[in-house]
Amino acid sequence: MACVSKYVTLSALTVKADRFSSKTSRVRVTSKVDQRRANVIEARLNRTTSGLSSKLTCNFESVYSLRLPSRHCLIHCKAAEDAEVSAVPEPVSTAPAKKPRLPGLDSVRFFLISYIAVGHFIACATKDVTVLKFFSQINVVVGCFFVLSGYVAGYVATELGQYAASPRIENKTEYIMSRLMGYYPLYLLAQLVFLPVFVYADNFYNGPVTTAAHALITFTLSQAWFPAHAELWNAPTWFLSALTFAMVVMPYALGPIAKMTKKSLKVLLGVLTGTSLLAKLAYSYDLNCWSVLEGMLTARTAPNLMVWNLNRFNPFFAVLEVLMGVAACRLVMLDGVDGDKEKDKSPASPVLPLLGMVAVIVARTLGYLPLNDPLTRVLLFLPMFTVFIMRVHRETVYRPDAKSFSSLFAWKPLVYLGTISFPFYILHGPIGQIFYKKVIAMKIWGKVMVGDPKFFIVYLAIVLASSALVHEVFIKNKTVQGWTKSATKGLIGMFP
């Protein structure tokens, strides 16, 4: 092949090399294919320049002579270069897979909250023992909230189909404060709106100093750490107090859990369940209360109120159940990874575990299952609930167009009810106090609204309407959202 001789100075060669280098650096940012091409060009350029150095000769004019390939040679070089680029294997994409929405879980939350709200005040509407036993098992059902909270947190903060956590947990302070400010503004609103109710009743029974101490405990969401005072003021919100501690733990736990295989996740579920069970066994054995229906007891008839409250309110046990939810979610998110065949199977229906949960409540109501609340919760109810939400998840993902049972939970009215379920949970306690707490109701109405089932339905309707109003006017309000975002940034800045 004929080649044309050409003379260039070393400075000109340097300029050409710089231009080549500049081009390759520009190519790198264009696309992955161009980047591989740039790498090949750069390698060829280095080989060419190193070869040139042996051919350079100096004359009296300090001019360096070199041979450059002809246009024909360049065409062949370009073809070889393309072949070399095409030989480079296409890298596997590591971009996170898009996660489908799981609207059914919102609907599940509404049904759980409705049961608990009814259970808190059903004794004010009826004296029927069967009805009271059926709705008094709230200490069994409330564990589902913690599992569901962990399930959602795991779904949001870990990557689908990968052994990796989301970048959102890298800044742990930001993660914790963001989760806290996801529910604290509405909690604070309820505290302030119903402050006269809370303070009047507390001061009536305990005096101003104790009332001030209780205000500090409740405004800081610390009440779950105090077994005798976990239900201060707005009693159901002890759940948020326990959940807050779980949210502090979460960014430190999500990373290691995200790296676990399915086998390790199953072991983790067993360890968490076993740890929780051990505390329940200790309570049952020490107090010899294996078959007690705790929801039907009062403070005077309970075997040991302090031990019982420690088991049901302590945030440590809440963390165990939240992590159960994370592990369960990861089991579904890793379907199809490393040869797993779960995606190839037809997703099992959630109907069976749902019927199982209802059967447990009914059997305990009728006396066929003489097992106390804590043991029922950890041995029967939570395992079935965990399987239930995993099946709802799989049906939603793998049968999105089918008329499955899970599609019923995705019905828009139910999803909306799930959306307003958190305001429902926050408001049903203080609104109930206005009608059913003697010292408050007598002050406002001159009587307590007990023994009237019809009014109980009115009470639930008031709570539901108030929840929708708060959701539309407060939670969706742009000003409130802006304030929340600013407050979150301020809190993050306080804990660098």
Q: Are 110 and 418 in contact, with CB atoms under 8 Å apart?
A: yes
Find the helix or strand (DSSP H, E) in which 453 lies: helix 453-470
d(CA 81, CA 225): 69
Contacts of 7 (CB under 8 A, 6+ apart): 63, 64, 65, 66
Q: Indicate the DSSP class of residue 165.
A: B
Enumerate the H helices of 87-157 as residue ranges. Answer: 103-121, 129-135, 138-157
Q: Which two tokens stand for residue 57?
A: 């000769």
pTM over 0.95: no
Cβ atoms of 343 and 377 within 8 Å: the answer is: no
In sequence order, what are the residues at sequence separation of 6 or more whose Cβ sits closer than 8 angstroms to the Cβ of residue 452? 125
* One pLDDT digit (tens) per residue for the chain, 496 residues: 444 343 334 344 343 444 444 444 444 444 444 455 556 555 554 554 444 444 433 343 333 333 344 444 434 444 444 444 444 444 444 555 677 788 888 888 899 999 999 999 999 999 999 999 999 999 999 999 999 999 999 999 999 888 998 888 888 888 999 999 889 999 999 999 999 999 999 999 999 999 999 999 999 999 999 999 999 999 999 999 999 999 999 999 999 999 999 999 999 999 999 999 999 999 999 999 999 998 888 878 888 888 899 889 999 999 999 999 999 999 999 988 877 777 767 778 889 999 999 999 999 999 999 999 999 999 999 999 999 999 998 888 887 776 777 778 778 888 898 889 999 999 999 999 999 999 999 999 989 888 888 999 999 999 999 999 999 999 989 998 899 888 888 888 887 6
What is the rounded CA–CA span in Å between residue 30 and residue 253?
Answer: 38
